[in-house]
């Protein structure tokens, strides 16, 4: 997929077709005082992009389709594995206070809780605040008792696209997704945490894409 | 600006030029067993997009420029005013506890603090947690004493682009920006809060753009 800045003449052609449709390439050439051969590449671009319709024996028509796809293959090909961050993980027995210390040291919004090395839960800034407001003793309470538990955690995989991850974040109203790899043992599924994708990663990707030329 | 999906033949032309540059359109036509006239629109698209260079009396060269701009006018034109959310505001005298209640009721990550109706400070989930960990009594402490104060707040304006706002969020490592309008009185500047742009708004915009066909 490529992106092309329309030339003055191409924009003019669109205007001419809009006002005179259907119109033949010969008539457009007359309007612009150029030869049909000169116009051929312009008309090819405008029909390929879907801005004009070309009907045999009728001529060119304006498709009305001026909002065109803006997401390139580049965006569609950006994978979770390319934008993920390091996850911060703690054990189920960790107290809320110690988990909060990790949260601040690593400056993250969510912490993943592991049990025997596999994803067991997630705890966010919001969860901490909710419990503190409810009067929980952060020095005694282990994260395992207040975390959101599997299977109620929305996850993503390294091979998913950044777009798929962003859709999950918005639809499930979460701040981040653990990036996991699935293992099966005796018919049970286990998830290893290999990263994290948050709104920060998506915003950073948006900036990178926007800054390209 | 328009986006075009390259055809099989166009991709083939790129390969041929890559391996045989410099190469004339006549030679490319021979490779593909088509006429030069047939190739003209393809070559026009490939040179206009900057993927091929056309040098008079030399032929076509591969520009090496296969990462092309992916951000359309649509993205560049999206304004902060189009994506902003409602801000949640409290007064300087509000206690941390009452501010936290607003935070949860409105389900936001940051609250803006007003003084005489103008932006005076901002307080985030992280600020709340930091103070709670430090032993602050949330039922007594007013937000005015712990908030980040103007002029240390990164702001955005309704007419700025979503991209500019996203860049500020990433570069200043903040979760959201108050959208403000500036007023001047007796040589002093005041800012009215008219909205909020957070990583959530940017992620939602990314999803909207990505979902467009």
Task: Examine the domain organization and report whether A34 and A85 are in the same domain.
Answer: no
The per-residue pLDDT for A38 is 87
Token readout for A77 is: 């090909």
The pLDDT, as a whole number, for residue A5 is: 62
Domain membership of residue B104 (yes or no) is: yes
Is the CB of B70 less than 8 angstroms away from the CB of A212?
yes
pLDDT in the model for residue A213: 45
User: How far, in Å, are A8, B12, B100 from residue A127 at the CA level?
Assistant: 56, 55, 12
Contact A48, A58 (CB under 8 A): no
- Helix ranges, chain B (H): 8-20, 25-32, 36-48, 73-77, 80-83, 96-106, 125-133, 162-171, 199-211
Please determine, for the modelled complex, whether the ipTM score is greater than 0.85: no
The answer to whether the CB atoms of B133 and A167 lie below 8 A apart is no
* Reported confidence tier of residue B12, pLDDT bands at 50, 70, 90: confident
- Residue B195 included in any domain: yes
Please check whether residues A78 and A39 belong to one and the same domain.
no
Whole-number CA gyration radius for chain B: 27
Give per-residue burial for A65-93: e unless 16+ CB within 10 Å, then b.
Answer: eeebbbbbeebeebbbbebbbebbbbbee
**Of residues B177, B171, B170, the one with CA closest to residue B148:** B177
Comparing CB atoms, the residue among B70, B100, B109 nearest residue A74 is B70
Element (H, E) at A198: strand A188-198
Question: Is residue A145 included in any domain, yes or no?
Answer: yes
Give the pLDDT of residue A91: 96
Residues A32 and A85 in one domain: no
Q: Please check the confidence at residue B1 and state whether its pLDDT lies above 70.
A: no
From the centroid of its chain, how far is CA B66?
23
Using the beta-carbon criterion (under 8 Å), do B69 and A3 form an inter-chain contact?
yes
Split into its structural domains, chain A has a count of 2
Query: Is B185 part of a structural domain of the chain?
Result: yes
- Interface contact flag, A206 B204, Cβ < 8 Å: no
Q: How far is B163 from chain A (nearest CA, A)?
A: 6
Domain containing B50 equals 8-62
Could you tell me which residues are beta bridge partners of residue A123? A111
- Chain B residues in contact with A72 by the CB 8 A cut-off are 3, 68, 70
Whether B154 is covered by a domain: the verdict is yes
Interface of B with A in 174-193 (CB under 8 A): none
Return the minimum-mean-pLDDT range out of B71-80, B140-149, B180-189.
Answer: B71-80
Is the domain of A47 the same as that of A107? no
A163 and chain B in contact, CB less than 8 A: yes
CATH at B88: 3.10.580.10
User: What's the mean pLDDT when you consider all of chain B?
Assistant: 88
Co-location of B137 and B33 in the same domain: no
Local structure of A25: helix, strand or coil: helix
> Residue A111 has what pLDDT?
96
Are residue B110 and residue B15 in the same domain, yes or no?
A: no
Candidates A166, A168, A169, A172, partner chain B, best to mutate (most B CBs within 10 A)? A166
Q: Write the pLDDT tens digit of every residue in A25-55.
A: 999 999 999 998 888 888 887 887 777 888 8
Q: Which residues of B touch A36 (CB under 8 A)?
A: none
Restricting to B residues 11-70, those with a Cβ less than 8 Å away from any Cβ of A are 40-45, 48-49, 51, 67-70
Residues A77 and B6: their CA atoms lie apart, in Å, by: 16
Q: Does residue A26 sit within a domain? A: yes
Do A104 and A145 share a structural domain? yes
* B37-69 pLDDT per residue, tens: 888 888 887 887 777 888 888 899 887 654 334
Query: Taking Cα atoms as reference points, which of A90, A86, A102 lies closest to residue A179?
Result: A86
Q: Are residues B56 and B78 part of one domain?
A: no
- Which of B4, B167, B209 faces A49 most closely, judged by CB atoms? B4
Please indicate, yes or no, if residue B68 is contained in any of the structural domains.
Answer: no
pLDDT at residue B126, as a whole number: 93
* Alpha carbons A205 and B169: distance in angstroms, whole number: 12
A79 in the same domain as A55: no
Q: How many H-runs (helices) and E-runs (strands) does chain B carry?
A: 9, 9
Interface test with A, best of B64, B210, B212 (most A CBs within 10 A): B210
Q: Which SS3 state, helix, strand or coil, does residue B163 take?
A: helix
pLDDT at position B66 is 45
Domain shared by B38 and B114, yes or no: no
Other CB atoms within 10 A of residue A157 CB: 17
Give the CATH number for residue A27: 1.10.10.10
pLDDT of amino acid A176: 96
Question: Does one domain contain both B42 and B147?
Answer: no
Q: Does B19 fall in a domain?
A: yes
Q: Judge if B55 and B92 occupy the same domain.
A: no
- Say how many residues make up chain A: 213
A194 touches chain B (CB under 8 A): no
Q: pLDDT (tens digit, 0 to 9) for every residue of chain A, 213 residues total?
A: 455 567 788 888 988 998 898 999 999 999 999 998 888 888 887 887 777 888 888 899 887 654 334 344 556 678 999 999 999 999 999 999 999 999 999 999 999 999 999 999 999 999 999 999 888 999 999 999 999 999 999 999 999 999 999 999 999 999 999 999 999 989 999 999 999 999 999 999 988 877 764
Test A3 with B70 for CB contact under 8 angstroms.
yes
Burial of B211 (0-12, 13-18, 19+ CB in 10 A): exposed
């Amino acid at each position: 997929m490529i992106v092309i800045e329309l030339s003055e003449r191409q924009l003019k052609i669109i205007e001419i077709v809009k006002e005179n449709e259907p119109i033949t390439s010969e008539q457009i050439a007359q309007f612009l005082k150029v030869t049909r051969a000169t116009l051929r590449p312009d008309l090819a671009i405008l029909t390929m992009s879907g801005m004009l319709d070309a009907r045999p024996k009728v001529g060119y028509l304006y498709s009305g389709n001026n909002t065109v796809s803006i997401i390139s293959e580049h965006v569609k090909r950006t994978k979770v594995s390319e934008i993920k961050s390091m996850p911060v993980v703690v054990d189920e027995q960790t107290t809320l206070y110690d988990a909060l210390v990790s949260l601040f040291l690593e400056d993250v919004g969510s912490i993943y809780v592991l049990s025997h090395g596999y994803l067991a839960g997630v705890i966010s800034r919001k969860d901490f605040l909710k419990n503190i407001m409810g009067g929980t003793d952060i020095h005694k309470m282990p994260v395992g008792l207040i975390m959101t538990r599997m299977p109620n955690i929305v996850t993503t995989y390294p091979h998913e696209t950044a777009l798929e991850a962003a859709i999950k974040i918005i639809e499930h109203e979460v701040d981040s997704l653990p990036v996991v790899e699935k293992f099966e043992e005796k018919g049970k599924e286990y998830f290893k945490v290999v990263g994290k994708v948050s709104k920060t990663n998506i915003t950073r990707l948006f900036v990178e894409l926007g800054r390209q030329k």
